Structure 1
Amino acid sequence: MKATIIYDNTTIRADLIADWGFACYIETGRNKILFDTGGNGKILLQNMRSLDINLYKIDTVFISHNHFDHIGGLSAFLNENPDVTLYAPNSLRGIKHAKKVILIEQAQKLEDGLYTTGELEGIEQSMAVQTEKGLVLVVGCSHPDMANILSAASQFGDIYAIIGGLHGFDQYDLFEEFQLICPAHCTQHKAEIKNIYPGKYIEGGVGKMIEL
């Protein structure tokens, strides 16, 4: 599995554009997945071009929640590539142009090696990807209680890593068993997480690639 952050508040390269929001491109043995779409379609597509990501090969879109900084680039992407299966939380309606839209309520297996926590607390779903080392949990903003997110994901296996926005998360002991922690976007306590888990912490930002 390879994950590339393509939309974030910070960037690791001068030719990439930072902006408030989050999106991650994930390649597995079966799928090429766009997780969230950031807040601006032009920025999303420009960063994908700069990172040599072929948007026309993406077959799956996963939307975590209905906030502008995660769905703002969706229309622009679908205008270019509507030939995708799109997994959206049940609260997000009115999606147009996607070949297939599946609204998610409950935790479930989506495809081999790909899982959702379900839409927790009526606001957000997270995605889990199976790797040889364990599950990689990709989160948008972690609006639901982190304990609930981890409980829902853990039914599909042991969590190896977490990538994405953690908002005001400060229950640091919940990450003790994780081997990789990559906070991004809205995470408020990056310094504290890095201080507690220096050997597991990876700084995010547009252009960051994580390969497992």
Structure 2
Amino acid sequence: MRVILFGATGMVGQGVLRECLLDERVEAVLVVGRSPVGAGHPKLTEIVEKDLFALEPITGYDACFFCLGVSSVGVAPEEYERITYQLTLSVARKLPENTTFVYVSGQGTDSTERGRVRWARVKGATENALAKLPLRTFAFRPGYIQPLHGITSKTTLYRTLYRVVMPLYPVLRRAFPRMVTTTEDIGRAMIAVAADGYRKPVLENTDITAAARPARPAGS
């Protein structure tokens, strides 16, 4: 399987990239972003493009893992919609038909697009628009995501929060299995869904955990 990855320098994207490079089912990874990931690997190729709206169509890949995003906190509504909705659709429309497109959405996304929470409406609109494209689309709706394997968030406040929560994560996962996951599980689940599909197009937190459950092939 050949994979395109957007958002590889972010926390979720770092985790997905790690799993792609470890998994024997993934033979090649094309990372597309505004800055290089700074890691060399035989599977890895990079495209650095400052204006992602200007990307040319990309062919020759089986799946696209879209982990690029921005928090709605402190971001103007127009800019949040431009990145969350417009950029996601711009990229998706440049892929060949039947490409598997896995989009990182969020727990609480509003599929009706009529709720009071703006970010949830925008995410819902993005999911709905993607579902209408001639792609094999899946939306991931993780809740709290615990970074593993030295992966960190770019946001200082979040980095502090994750350090505090890390020792408590096993307890949180047992107590709130519908609300918490890890960067590792998201990466493994994306690969599994791209390889084998899933019974529904929108994966909530428990679905992500279930999809990630199969063991990685021996020797990886």
Normalised by the shorter chain, which TM-score bucket? 0.3 to 0.5
Q: Answer 1 or 2: which has greater strand percent.
A: 1
TM-score after normalising by structure 1 = 0.38
Structure number with the higher helix fraction is 2
